[in-house]
């Protein structure tokens, strides 16, 4: 069965963690996180090596239809790790302590192979990152100057937002419980 071209976005339940938040803070709306995911240029992907050790690497990604999408060569360490364990964490944010907003997305990386979906994602990469990140789609992969790349989608299961500065705040968005 082919993958849907457009997937519905889910609205999570947002909860403020008072232990790590200023008394004036409120839980952030998921729309703030989506705007930051759409505009962030660099993400850090954490995967698990076959021997259980963590592996972290920076990469680029696009937010589309309720999920973060990234690509990697089939022989790269992250792709090898994902063969055995698809559980990942993607992070993005600011390295400043006193300002900005950091995001942590937990989920499962699933291969995207539907060519209609891949063409839409390839266009999103070019729109976000420019002509240096232009991909053709062939045989269920992105094809660029570096060869073929596998494409993965991470739909958030749980996400955390860390507001820094005034006021400090930690929001948890839970996707297993849906907001009405």
Tell me the pLDDT tens digit for each residue of 3-40: 444 555 678 999 999 998 999 999 999 999 999 999 99
According to the model, what pLDDT value does residue 180 have?
Answer: 40
Instruction: Out of 13-22, 85-94, 170-179, give the one with best mean pLDDT.
Output: 85-94
Which among 119, 69, 121, 60 is positioned nearest to 92, based on CA atoms? Answer: 60
Q: For the chain, what are the domain ranges?
A: 12-178
Whole-number percent of the chain with pLDDT over 70: 93
Residue 2 predicted with pLDDT over 50: no
Average pLDDT over residues 50-58: 97
User: For the purposes of burial, counting CB atoms within 10 Å of the CB of 155, is it exposed (0-12), middle (13-18) or buried (19 or more)?
Assistant: middle
According to the model, what pLDDT value does residue 163 have?
Answer: 96
Give the global pTM.
0.91
Question: What is the band of 176 on the pLDDT scale with cuts at 50, 70, 90?
Answer: confident
**For the chain, what is the mean pLDDT?**
92
CATH code, 12-178: 2.30.110.10
According to the model, what pLDDT value does residue 11 have?
Answer: 82
Among 6-15, 40-49, 79-88, the least confident range: 6-15
According to the model, what pLDDT value does residue 9 have?
Answer: 66
Average pLDDT over residues 64-82: 97
Instruction: Name, in order, each residue with C-beta under 8 angstroms of 162's C-beta and a sequence gap of 6 or more.
Output: 93, 101, 102, 103, 104, 169, 170
């Amino acid at each position: 069965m082919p993958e849907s071209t457009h997937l519905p976005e889910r609205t999570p339940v947002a909860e403020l963690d008072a232990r790590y938040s200023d008394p004036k803070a409120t839980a952030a709306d998921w729309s703030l996180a989506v705007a930051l995911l759409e505009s962030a240029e660099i993400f850090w992907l954490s995967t698990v090596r076959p021997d259980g050790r963590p592996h972290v690497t920076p990469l680029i990604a696009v937010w589309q239809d309720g999920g973060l999408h990234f690509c990697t060569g089939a022989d790269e360490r992250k792709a090898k790790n994902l063969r055995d364990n698809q559980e990942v964490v993607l992070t993005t944010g600011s390295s400043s302590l006193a300002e900005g907003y950091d995001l942590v997305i937990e989920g499962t990386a699933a291969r995207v192979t539907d060519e209609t979906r891949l063409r839409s994602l390839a266009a999103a990469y070019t729109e976000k990152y420019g002509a240096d990140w232009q991909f053709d789609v062939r045989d269920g992969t992105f094809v660029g100057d570096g060869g073929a790349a596998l494409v993965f989608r991470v739909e958030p299961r749980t996400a955390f937002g860390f507001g820094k500065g005034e006021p400090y705040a930690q929001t948890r968005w839970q996707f297993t419980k849906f907001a009405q």
